[in-house]
């Protein structure tokens, strides 16, 4: 009885983090096996980095996935991506339900925190729909990608590439079996549109997909309304995608990236990079050749990331939407923050501002530590100094679980890789989850003193 009561006191955040860490260490062990690599065994730090990148659906790679790992090693990475994208707890609840075993209250609370913004009684139905919609979407994507690749390679290889990249795209992982990602396919409408669709569906979040499905299915028989979260996610996503694509096209219009490209590439490259650089990490151009102003724009998109309850990281689209509406409300001297004719709880607004601040502090700290490590190693004459912007790009890419890189991942020291591993875990699990683990989830009422004003701004 005492043991069960202690288990119930464990916050769901602890179980979520524990499940991810367990999967990461298991993945690192499997990647270290001799059967996983083509030549020599991968080092422990590189195995840990690769496993973390796969489980956290980031896509940063210290070695080339297609040439360094065997088919077994690639399937291990693919399995880690799928488990990490769905979430270990989601898969375990679905498995228990399927074999007829009872699911504990603790597991149900975890699903409640991961997949919903308000309490609901049909949590099993939601988990089931998540699994089914994920597999159906990945299957459709794999078929379309197979059609694309079967024109240039054997059917078996085309099917394998289709499955791998469909799962990687839907889970917003960014792992590719091509050394240059999709640079050779910058003008392919079928590949670009399929990958973009998979990234968007996987990035808007399972609650939004479920809400849209329910609305489309029952809107004629029941009075169904889309939630505020769904509306804000969809609107913010459209604005970020279109805004990022237009800005990319303007900034790189006369650069070698777009100058000599066809009309299709002028449309597809900016659109693809705008979609991919927020969560996925695929690229159809060489990131290191972009202008610094374009890099800064992409850093902003990576910092925002995906949506809550999705496969991606970042501070989330809803946080950006809420912060924007809050700023407008305060400028207009309104006390409450209203979105789509609904008032947002003050606690949610406060958490969103705290989330932005903590995320910026974490990124700044890690960039500082990377620069400190770089300056020390550079003083010893062991490697060339890396530009600050490259470290910032790499760190934000890890935090947003994006996976885009300016080409410095493989040249990082062991110390640098450890910092990036930590940032990837924080970005995937979430800052709020870590705050629950560190300070607890229950509000603490502190002392309240008399008020005194102070100047700001």
Cα distance between residue 6 and residue 106, in whole Å:
11
Is residue 258 a contact partner of residue 219, using CB atoms and an 8 Å limit?
Answer: no
pLDDT at 45 exceeding the cut of 70: yes
Cβ atoms < 10 Å from Cβ of 419: 21
Which long-range CB contacts under 8 A does 152-161 form with residues at least 24 apart? none
Q: Does the residue 373 lie in any domain?
A: no
- The rounded distance, in Å, linking the Cα atoms of 407 and 416 is 14
Please report which helix (H) or strand (E) contains residue 161, including its range: helix 155-170
Cβ contacts of residue 72 below 8 Å, gap of 6+?
A: 35, 36
Q: State residue 14's pLDDT score.
A: 73
pLDDT of residue 385: 58
> What percentage of the chain has pLDDT greater than the value 90?
37
Joined together, the tokens standing for residue 111 give 């699903």
User: Is 90 exceeded by the pLDDT of residue 15?
Assistant: no
Contact, 418 vs 395, CB < 8 A? no
Cα(436)–Cα(442) distance, integer angstroms: 8
The residue-averaged pLDDT of 154-173 equals 93
Average per-residue pLDDT in the chain? 83
d(CA 147, CA 166): 12
Characterise 30 by phi-psi region: left (phi > 0), alpha (psi -120 to 50), beta (else). Answer: alpha
CA 142 to each of CA 74, 162, 289, 408: distance values in angstroms, whole numbers, following the listed order: 16, 4, 31, 31
Closest of 405, 206, 433 to residue 312, by C-alpha: 206
Residue 101 located in a structural domain: yes
Q: What is the dihedral of CA 266, 269, 275, 280, to 10 degrees?
A: 180
Categorize the per-residue pLDDT at 71 as very low, low, confident or very high, splitting at 50, 70 and 90: very high
**Would you place residue 349 in the very low, low, confident or very high pLDDT band (cuts 50, 70, 90)?**
confident
Query: Is 31 domain-assigned?
Result: yes
Tell me which DSSP letter residue 224 carries.
Answer: -
Choose between 380 and 170: higher pLDDT.
170
Cβ neighbours of residue 277 under 8 Å, at least 6 residues apart? Answer: 244, 298, 301, 302, 402, 404
Q: Identify whether 40 is part of a domain.
A: yes
pLDDT at 304: 92
Classify burial at 450, counting beta carbons within 10 Å of its beta carbon; exposed 0-12, middle 13-18, buried 19 or more: exposed
Does the pLDDT at position 292 exceed 70? Answer: yes
User: What are the counts of helices (DSSP H) followed by strands (DSSP E) for the chain?
Assistant: 19, 2
The percent of residues above 70 in pLDDT, for the chain, comes to: 81
pLDDT at 1: 42
Overall number of domains in the chain: 1
Best CA proximity match to 362, nearest among 389, 403, 395, 388: 395
Q: Residue 9: its pLDDT value, please?
A: 53
- Helix, strand or coil for residue 37? strand
pLDDT band at 368 (very low <50, low <70, confident <90, very high): very high
Name the pTM for this structure.
0.87
408: in domain: no
Range of the domain at 205: 9-317
Would you mind telling me the total number of residues written for the chain in this entry? 457
Question: Is residue 403 domain-resident?
Answer: no
What residues have CB less than 8 Å from 449, skipping those under 6 apart? none
Least confident of 156-170, 205-219, 277-291, 430-444: 430-444
User: Tokens standing for 180?
Assistant: 């240059």
Q: What is the pLDDT of residues 241-279, one digit of tens each?
A: 999 999 999 998 888 888 888 888 899 999 999 999 888
On whether residue 219 sits in a domain, the answer given is yes
Report residue 2's pLDDT band, with 50, 70 and 90 as the boundaries. Answer: very low
For the segment 124-135, the average pLDDT, to the nearest whole number, is: 78
Number of neighbouring beta carbons within 10 Å of residue 257:
24
Asked if the structure places residue 223 within a domain, the reply is yes
What is the residue whose two structure tokens read 């603490």? 444
Give the integer Cα–Cα distance in Å for 280 and 167: 11
Query: pLDDT-derived band of residue 237, with 50, 70 and 90 as boundaries?
Result: very high
**Unique residue bearing structure tokens 């500082």:** 368
Say yes or no to pLDDT of 447 above 80.
no
Q: In 48-75, which positions are buried (b, 16+ CB within 10 angstroms) versus exposed (e)?
A: bbbbbbbbbbbbbbbbebeebbeeebbb
């Amino acid at each position: 009885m005492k043991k069960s009561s202690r288990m119930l006191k464990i916050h769901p955040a602890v179980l979520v983090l524990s499940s991810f860490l367990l999967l990461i260490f298991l993945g690192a062990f499997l990647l270290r096996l001799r059967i996983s690599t083509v030549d020599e065994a991968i080092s422990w730090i590189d195995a840990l980095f690769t496993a973390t990148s796969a489980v956290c659906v980031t896509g940063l790679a210290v070695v080339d996935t297609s040439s360094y790992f065997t088919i077994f090693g690639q399937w291990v990475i693919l399995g880690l991506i799928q488990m990490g994208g769905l979430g270990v707890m989601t898969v375990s609840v679905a498995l228990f339900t399927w074999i007829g075993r009872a699911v504990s209250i603790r597991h149900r609370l975890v699903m409640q925190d991961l997949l919903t913004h308000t309490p609901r009684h049909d949590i099993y139905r939601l988990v089931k729909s998540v699994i089914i919609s994920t597999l159906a979407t990945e299957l459709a994507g794999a078929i379309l990608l197979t059609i694309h690749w079967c024109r240039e390679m054997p059917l078996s290889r085309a099917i394998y590439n289709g499955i791998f990249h469909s799962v990687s795209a839907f889970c917003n992982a960014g792992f590719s079996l091509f050394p240059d990602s999709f640079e050779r396919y910058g003008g392919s409408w079928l590949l670009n549109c399929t990958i973009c669709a998979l990234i968007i569906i996987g990035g808007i979040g399972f609650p939004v997909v479920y809400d849209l499905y329910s609305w489309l299915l029952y809107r004629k028989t029941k009075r169904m309304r889309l939630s505020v979260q769904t509306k804000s996610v969809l609107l913010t996503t459209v604005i970020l995608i279109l805004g990022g694509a237009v800005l990319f096209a303007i900034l790189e219009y006369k650069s070698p990236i777009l100058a000599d490209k066809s009309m299709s590439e002028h449309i597809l490259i900016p659109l693809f990079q705008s979609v991919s650089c927020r969560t996925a990490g695929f690229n159809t151009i060489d990131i290191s050749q972009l202008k610094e102003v374009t890099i800064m724009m992409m850093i902003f998109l990576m910092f925002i990331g995906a949506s809550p309850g999705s496969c991606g990281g970042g501070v989330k689209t809803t946080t950006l939407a809420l912060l924007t509406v809050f700023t407008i409300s305060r400028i207009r001297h309104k006390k409450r923050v209203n979105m789509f004719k609904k008032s947002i709880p003050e606690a949610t607004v406060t958490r969103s501002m705290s989330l932005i601040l903590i995320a910026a502090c974490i990124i700044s700290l890690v960039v500082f530590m990377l620069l400190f490590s770089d300056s020390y190693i550079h003083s010893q004459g062991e490697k060339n100094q890396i530009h600050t912007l490259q470290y910032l790009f790499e760190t934000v890419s890890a935090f947003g679980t994006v996976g885009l890189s300016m080409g410095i991942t493989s040249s990082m020291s062991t110390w640098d890789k450890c910092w990036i591993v930590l940032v990837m875990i924080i970005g995937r699990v979430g800052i709020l989850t870590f705050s629950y683990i560190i300070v607890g989830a229950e509000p603490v009422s502190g002392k309240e003193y008399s008020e005194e004003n102070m100047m700001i701004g």
